[in-house]
Structure 1
Amino acid sequence: MLSRHLPGSFLCMAILSALHAAPAHAEVAIAPDPATLDRIQVIGSAARAREVSGAAQYIGSEALADFEYTDIQRVLRQAPGVYVVEEDGYGLRPNIGIRGSGIDRNSRITVMEDGVLIAPAAYAAPAAYYFPPAARMSAVEILKGAAAVRSGPRTTGGAINLISTPIPDANLGGYASLLLGQDDTVLGHAWLGGQQDNGFGFLIETVQQRSDGFKQLDGGGGTGYDLQDALVKLAYTHDTGEGPMQRVELRLGRNDQDADETYLGLSDADFRATPDRRYAASQLDHLDVEHTDVQLRHTIAFDDRIDLSTVLYRHDTTRAWYKLQDVTGAGLGTVLDDPAAFAEQYGWLTGGDSPDDALRIRNNNRSYDARGAQTALGLRIDGDRVSHQLQLSARYHEDEEDRFQQDDRYRMQDGRLVLTTPGLPGSQDNRVGSAEAWSYYLADEITIGRLTLAPGLRYEDIRLERVDYARTPDGRQQAPTGVTRTEVDQWIPGFGASWALADGWTLFGSVSRGFNPPGPGSDAAPERSRNHELGVRVDRGALSGEAVAFYNDYSNLVGTCTESTGGGCSIGQQFDGGEARVGGLEARLSWTANRDGAVRYPLRASYTWTDAEFRNSFGSDFEEWGDVTRGDALPYLPEQLLWLSAGAEGERWSTDLSASYVGEMREVAGQGAIPAGERVGSAVIVDLAASWRIAGRLELLGKVENLLDETYLAARRPNGARPGRPRTAFVGMRYRF
């Protein structure tokens, strides 16, 4: 297979050589700084986001610093067209969707860090059992419509690119923050780095977090988490003024998480009475995650016309989630939907004595690895009337998910779980899913006066394999019980255009193809859609904003059975939902009142209206869909989202208040009034933050998340009602130099 693609792997270098040898069409001015010329990055700045011929948003470091958020979902609430469903209350395992893509474990969107695919197995199993800590990010980019085609492979909704802390330009710089909060919560973040005159640069960064958790476990016990994250960057920049300018950067990262987290929720009655309760049957539930990341980047600017960026990467993730699976006679969700009908099983969940083997706990032991190479070539040509910014990129990527799991059986005795029948390793699941993909992207940004045209074309060639082994401890030593191979290839075109009007106004629009590849072993067709958007953007100093109408027309919407969607089907099984449509409006606005005064008043807002429905009828075992009738609304997709923020900033102090409104949503596809047991009601979450510079660059910080102590239902999936985090106060300090 590799030999078939070897010519493509040298395509960028071949074109580079030809272009470098050819005479220049015209002189151009590209900032000759290889540190900022990295084309693997997606947007790179707020200014560049305003030039994209499509919907794109750049949330910079200043906006992130306002609330010192450690939960990426709270950050993303300010982005229109982005939907999040909370799970653990801390955002460690977020569920993010874009423009109705579906939100389960971010598996329907492309997630990157510094332009590199960061999901544990982005093609084979893109579940978010690892997500980079939000505290470590200097910016967040959101791309939708045709702007998302360049990233791939998942383009039906969009892409999110997390930008890590860069090596500072100064000889030496640093930052440290420490916040202490309720539930013995500690949030620490620090980095130190600099760029030396001899060209060498470095960054050392760490995030340290812990909490006892806000839920109360029957009989006592932990419900919190510990997180340690470390990152090192080493760089060398060669810029003598003669010959090509080059930069090499090595990145080494490690993340460790331990969380006393569960999939077990509450019955509706128990949620109303004590929403932060956790049943005794979840006392052994625990998640361990280890993630390592290695990247080597090279950027070279041959002259003021041509540059090339390349990255080699590898990341490995292991996770073992030991958690309650079910009870004898019923699934957990079934029991909690109707505790009276399953009174015996409900009694066991809440600490009542049970027979032997009545409760099954699964050791969800999985390992992931991903590795690849990505390169992007840029060429800019400026003519008298027309200029071109060409980009050609290629990526080779392979990843793998390895499942080797067993079920242990317990009884409940005096409120404690007692092991009665241990399972044999590999007896529950023993399989490997893998993917190998080549992808190419060619784009041109053509500027003709005030008109910009942005055609782009992506090609994905993906080979998927699932290998099943006998479910025994030595199953890997025998021949596989089944091997399924699939090959998928797809052309993904996108076209955007923008027209710069007077006084900072811009009209833009785009059309593109949406694509999501199937998983290994799946007999479902790829997910495909036609995506359209039309918008207007304004940038007039203190005032900036964007309004977009979008319409995504699915020829085939795909659902994937996972434990986090509630199970009830074969894990990993995919379902063809056929035709569906998702349309809506997005708007965001930012204005700073008294911008040049002693006290400034930044005001920001974003709004999303969404209308989505199936366009055909069918039946499925997928819990979120069930039996679908044409016209049924899609689940977990609120019609209304609103985010408002108001602040005041003086020379030595600042205060910020934000409010998020999330409209009601249904948990199962349907029409008309939402049944009580399938309805997630609306919620308003208010956050408050303030800072005061004590002396020099030392600041005192304080913030309260969920200021009004709103009790709200985050979701009922996978198994029962799950609460949002209650009011939590923090106080601390930060220092930068």
Structure 2
Amino acid sequence: MRITVSTSFLAVAAMLANPAQAEVSQDSSGAVATTAAAAAAATTAADADPSSIQSILVIGNRFDPFAVPGSVTVLDQDALASFRYGDANRILRQVPGVNLQEEDGAGLFPNIGLRGSSVERSSNITLMEDGVLIAPAPYAAPAAYYFPQIGRMQSIEVVKGAQAVRYGPRTISGAINLRSTQIPDAPYAGYLSGQIGEDGNYVVHGWAGGTAGQFSALVETYQSGSDGFKELDGGGDTGFEVEDYLARLRWQTPAGAATPMSLEFKFGHTNREASETYLGLSDADFATDPFRRYAASAADNFASDHYQYQLTHTIEAGRAQFETVAYYNEFSRNWFKLENLDIGDGNGFVSPNSFFSNPGTASSNLGLAVLRGEVDTAPDALRLRNNSREYYSFGLQTAMTLPWEIGSVENVLTVSARYHEDEEDRLQNYERFQMLNGQLVRTSVDPLGSNANRQAQANAFAFYIQNVIQAGPLTVTPGLRYEGVQLTRIDYSTADPSRSAGPTRVRRNFVEAVLPALGATYELDEGLLLLASFSRGFSPPGPGSAADPEKSWNYEAGIRFARGNWEASAIGFFNDYSNLLGDCTNATGCTAGDIGDQFNGGEVDVLGLEAVVGGAFPINATFSIPVRAVYTYTEAEFQQTFDSNFFGNVVAGDALPYIPEHQLYLSAGIESDRMALTFGGNYVSSVRTEAGQGTIPTLERVPSRWVFDLAARFAVNDQIGLFARIDNLFDEEYAVARRPAGLRPGKPQTILGGVELRF
């Protein structure tokens, strides 16, 4: 068996389309465990082929996570099929070291952090689809208001620690790669599923494709929607609709060609519309009805379009393997929502958050009454903002992998490079409303660009080199990455929407970093491995920012076990930040004048533990009981005392906001070849919404909660299957967020069911 290995400097690269694969078993609990047979096969392959010494993220190529010198989790197709979630939050709860701030209950806008990194719009992780950076503008504006439709993914790969240095540009916390549906090798194959549920929930997912000679193709669609689970004061829509399409076309040389080669084109389009809002509820209103929505949010709406294009070329030349990917992404979005309002108390326009953070005052009581639609206002008193933005990203990345030897010491050399450019363009304005008889009435519209008129641009070059060295049971992996980024912010007059007068100000900043990494593993016994790594972490600042880059030294060490049907690991980590960056966004509750700015947070220490155990107890020849437990402990504290517009008044020892100390995921079930019943639950401890220490004040706390789900599936035959799921089995009422403006609820109990066809 031959296991090909590749990496593509800032992006995970797909090296070959003909991989023999290291098999990874997956039970229905979602555990990723290297079986003894797979471990033996991987060992045999390593003996025969040094290119399998270290497995890494490879699109089109599965890898053995057991051998990686760091924290790696793979959720494969079987794991994703256990619950058939379309919500990234529910899926990623199964992964250790992941921090999440839920928002809408459907996973439309995931906020993901890794190992204590801030969660705002997933802007502090490296997010990829099929090895290509997929955030709208990964350098200039990484806030991921676009997140790939996770329900159509074939597998999910999460890498943390020193392994993240390969993928950049944000190497401190880690990388998430979403692997989309691959073209089947069969002449023809297809899949179709339909799902319906309470609150008008529906999902339709289907694909068809195949291989004929040297040509292969695939088409796919994933469509979902809901009427929403919140009730708007005065009535109205609180749901969403998503349409997602993907197509692939591939040519490859005939089998046995002297120089194997392939060329693949990928196209994707996603349209999303959601009647979603940032506006939450007061504590008193949340306690009465957590699924209420205030009348002032009736017009709030998010609409977006995303297009992706990729052209991938792979070639083998002797023992060397090369892959080159050209990619282009476009994304446009407008989140039209309440920004601020003037309630006539003499304070002018203020953020709705001021009414929630200062309850009981005359102004807060009046403001909440306006939000509920109980008190009329003057015309133009409520300003709703067209937060419209357009993005593009373009890049060319290439990678070479070459196995080589020095005596009995086997090596794999990887060299990769990428050029990337991206841009965010803002042209925004207010529309003004009056609250009248419990309804929003539009009274005027400000000129286009009068609220924001600017561009943010980035041009980046990165280079990465790594050599995997294996000598008996010891494997050492040194690596080095270079990042050079030219960032530009161009401001235009808010009275010049056509930009005919040229910019009013141009700010440029150049940052570069050299980022070493070193990982090592030592195999104590078959299926028992020690691991350790350290690396330099880096995240660039924003265009025109006066803030320093985010930098850290990252350390991890642990032990990993995989034997038979069981796997276990325990990895401790420590991230020593010399400077933490804070990104000011609407989602964090920043005032309009600060949005887009960055702030230095100084020295921060993040330490923690990731522990996983999973396997299956056999009952008889037909049935088994799969179990899995995932625990994460995180302690994240500021090491300096300072004051800033973003972090507030910080005292050394204050805990970072929105980082839970304890997280636990548990699952158990019963399964056979034809059926499975899986019970899963996750616990998240209380989090604070402001930096602080000691007891968390009520108005700064999102309380802890347990949430349980139940899923069942039954195979009628090889072609037809039935499935059902209950989200929030015990109908727990809980809050998921308090910022930027009031408490927002998690998803209530929801029953769903469907059928799938394979052909």
TM-score of the superposed pair, with normalisation by structure 2: 0.91
Q: Which residue does the alignment assign to 1:514?
A: 537
More moved, 458-467 vs 584-593? 584-593
Q: Which residue does the alignment assign to 1:535?
A: 558
Q: Distance in 2 between matches of 1:651 and 1:434?
A: 53
Q: Which residue does the alignment assign to 1:124?
A: 140
Q: Is contact 2:59–2:179 with CA below 8 Å preserved after alignment? A: no
More moved, 205-214 vs 593-602? 593-602
Kindly provide the amino acid, as one letter, of the partner of residue 181 in structure 1: G
Q: Which residue does the alignment assign to 1:21?
A: none
Q: Which residue does the alignment assign to 1:673?
A: 695
Q: Deviations over 1:160-201 (max 9, x none)?
A: 0111111112111111111101111111111111122x1211
Offset of residue 360 of structure 1? 0.6
Which residue, 315, 321, 338 being the options, matches 1:307? Answer: 321
1:326 paired with 2:346, answer no
Q: Which residue does the alignment assign to 1:636?
A: 658
Q: Which residue does the alignment assign to 1:610?
A: 634
Q: Which residue does the alignment assign to 2:181?
A: 165
Q: Which residue does the alignment assign to 1:460?
A: 483
Q: Deviations over 1:393-437 (max 9, x none)?
A: 000100000000001111111111112221100000000000000
Which residue, 73, 84, 87 being the options, matches 2:103? Answer: 87
Q: Partner of 2:716: helix, strand, or coil?
A: strand
Kindly provide the amino acid, as one letter, of the partner of residue 338 in structure 1: N
Q: Residue 474 and residue 674 in structure 1: after superposition, are their counterparts in 2 closer, same or farther (change >3 A)?
A: closer
Aligned CA RMSD, in angstroms, stands at 1.8
Q: Distance in 1 between matches of 2:461 and 2:144?
A: 23
Q: Is contact 2:676–2:714 with CA below 8 Å preserved after alignment? A: yes
1:580 paired with 2:604, answer yes
Q: Deviations over 1:257-293 (max 9, x none)?
A: 0100111111111111110000001111111100000
Q: Is contact 2:519–2:533 with CA below 8 Å preserved after alignment? A: yes
Q: Partner of 1:50: helix, strand, or coil?
A: helix
Q: Which residue does the alignment assign to 2:160?
A: 144
Q: Distance in 2 between matches of 1:597 and 1:38?
A: 33
Q: Partner of 2:679: helix, strand, or coil?
A: strand
Q: Partner of 1:501: helix, strand, or coil?
A: strand
Q: Deviations over 1:598-628 (max 9, x none)?
A: 1022111100011111100000111xx2100
Q: Which residue does the alignment assign to 1:391?
A: 414
Q: Distance in 2 between matches of 1:119 and 1:44?
A: 23
Q: Partner of 1:149: helix, strand, or coil?
A: helix
Which residue, 502, 514, 517 being the options, matches 1:491? Answer: 514
Q: Is contact 2:561–2:567 with CA below 8 Å preserved after alignment? A: yes
Q: Is contact 1:699–1:735 with CA below 8 Å preserved after alignment? A: yes
Q: Is contact 2:718–2:758 with CA below 8 Å preserved after alignment? A: no
Q: Is contact 1:172–1:192 with CA below 8 Å preserved after alignment? A: yes
Identity of aligned residues (%): 46
Q: Deviations over 1:428-462 (max 9, x none)?
A: 00000000000010001100011000001110000
Q: Which residue does the alignment assign to 1:426?
A: 449
Kindly provide the amino acid, as one letter, of the partner of residue 127 in structure 1: A
Q: Which residue does the alignment assign to 1:17?
A: none
Q: Partner of 1:421: helix, strand, or coil?
A: strand
Q: Distance in 2 between matches of 1:209 and 1:92?
A: 11
Q: Which aligned pairs between 1:229-248 and structure 2 lie closer than 5 A?
A: 229-248=244-263
Q: Distance in 1 between matches of 2:335 and 2:565?
A: 48
Q: Partner of 2:64: helix, strand, or coil?
A: helix
Offset of residue 242 of structure 1? 3.4
Q: Which residue does the alignment assign to 2:28?
A: none
Q: Distance in 2 between matches of 1:29 and 1:261?
A: 55
Q: Residue 42 and residue 528 in structure 1: after superposition, are their counterparts in 2 closer, same or farther (change >3 A)?
A: farther
Offset of residue 597 of structure 1? 2.4
Q: Residue 649 and residue 38 in structure 1: after superposition, are their counterparts in 2 closer, same or farther (change >3 A)?
A: closer
Q: Is contact 2:622–2:672 with CA below 8 Å preserved after alignment? A: yes
Q: Which residue does the alignment assign to 2:39?
A: none
Q: Partner of 1:335: helix, strand, or coil?
A: helix
Q: Which aligned pairs between 1:4-83 and structure 2 lie closer than 5 A?
A: 41=58, 44-45=61-62, 47-83=63-99
1:566 paired with 2:589, answer yes
Q: Partner of 2:572: helix, strand, or coil?
A: strand
Q: Is contact 1:641–1:660 with CA below 8 Å preserved after alignment? A: yes
Q: Deviations over 1:128-182 (max 9, x none)?
A: 2110011111111111111100000101111101111111121111111111011
Q: Deviations over 1:50-72 (max 9, x none)?
A: 11111111111110000001011
Kindly provide the amino acid, as one letter, of the partner of residue 409 in structure 2: V
Kindly provide the amino acid, as one letter, of the partner of residue 613 in structure 2: L
Q: Is contact 1:28–1:380 with CA below 8 Å preserved after alignment? A: no
Q: Distance in 1 between matches of 2:400 and 2:620?
A: 41
Q: Distance in 1 between matches of 2:299 and 2:416?
A: 47
Q: Partner of 1:312: helix, strand, or coil?
A: strand
Q: Which residue does the alignment assign to 2:30?
A: none
Kindly provide the amino acid, as one letter, of the partner of residue 677 in structure 1: L
Offset of residue 549 of structure 1? 0.5
Which residue, 656, 669, 674 being the options, matches 1:647? Answer: 669
Q: Deviations over 1:702-732 (max 9, x none)?
A: 1001111111110101111010011111011
Which residue, 746, 749, 753 being the options, matches 1:724? Answer: 746
Offset of residue 112 of structure 1? 0.4
Which residue, 456, 476, 482 being the options, matches 2:505? Answer: 482
Q: Which residue does the alignment assign to 2:238?
A: 223
Kindly provide the amino acid, as one letter, of the partner of residue 297 in structure 1: T
- Aligned residue pairs, count: 704
More moved, 643-652 vs 392-401? 643-652
Q: Which residue does the alignment assign to 2:400?
A: 377
Q: Deviations over 1:556-598 (max 9, x none)?
A: 0110110000113511111101101000110111211118721
TM-score of the superposed pair, with normalisation by structure 1: 0.93
Q: Is contact 1:362–1:408 with CA below 8 Å preserved after alignment? A: yes
Kindly provide the amino acid, as one letter, of the partner of residue 322 in structure 2: L
Q: Residue 492 and residue 31 in structure 1: after superposition, are their counterparts in 2 closer, same or farther (change >3 A)?
A: closer
Q: Deviations over 1:47-100 (max 9, x none)?
A: 422111111111111100000010111111011110111011111110000011
Q: Which residue does the alignment assign to 1:689?
A: 711
Kindly provide the amino acid, as one letter, of the partner of residue 272 in structure 2: Q
Q: Distance in 1 between matches of 2:376 and 2:359?
A: 16
More moved, 643-652 vs 288-297? 643-652
Kindly provide the amino acid, as one letter, of the partner of residue 709 in structure 1: D
1:294 paired with 2:319, answer no
Kindly provide the amino acid, as one letter, of the partner of residue 457 in structure 1: L
Offset of residue 346 of structure 1? 1.7
Q: Partner of 1:80: helix, strand, or coil?
A: coil
Q: Partner of 1:374: helix, strand, or coil?
A: strand
Kindly provide the amino acid, as one letter, of the partner of residue 334 in structure 1: S
Q: Which residue does the alignment assign to 2:360?
A: 340
Q: Residue 389 and residue 595 in structure 1: after superposition, are their counterparts in 2 closer, same or farther (change >3 A)?
A: farther
Kindly provide the amino acid, as one letter, of the partner of residue 310 in structure 1: T
Q: Distance in 1 between matches of 2:253 and 2:184?
A: 17
Offset of residue 31 of structure 1? 11
Offset of residue 295 of structure 1? 0.2
Kindly provide the amino acid, as one letter, of the partner of residue 505 in structure 1: L
Q: Deviations over 1:490-541 (max 9, x none)?
A: 0011100000111310000000011110001110000000000001011102
Q: Distance in 1 between matches of 2:419 and 2:139?
A: 12
Q: Is contact 1:460–1:490 with CA below 8 Å preserved after alignment? A: yes
Q: Which residue does the alignment assign to 2:35?
A: none
Kindly provide the amino acid, as one letter, of the partner of residue 637 in structure 2: E
More moved, 166-175 vs 483-492? 166-175
Kindly provide the amino acid, as one letter, of the partner of residue 324 in structure 2: T
Q: Partner of 1:529: helix, strand, or coil?
A: strand
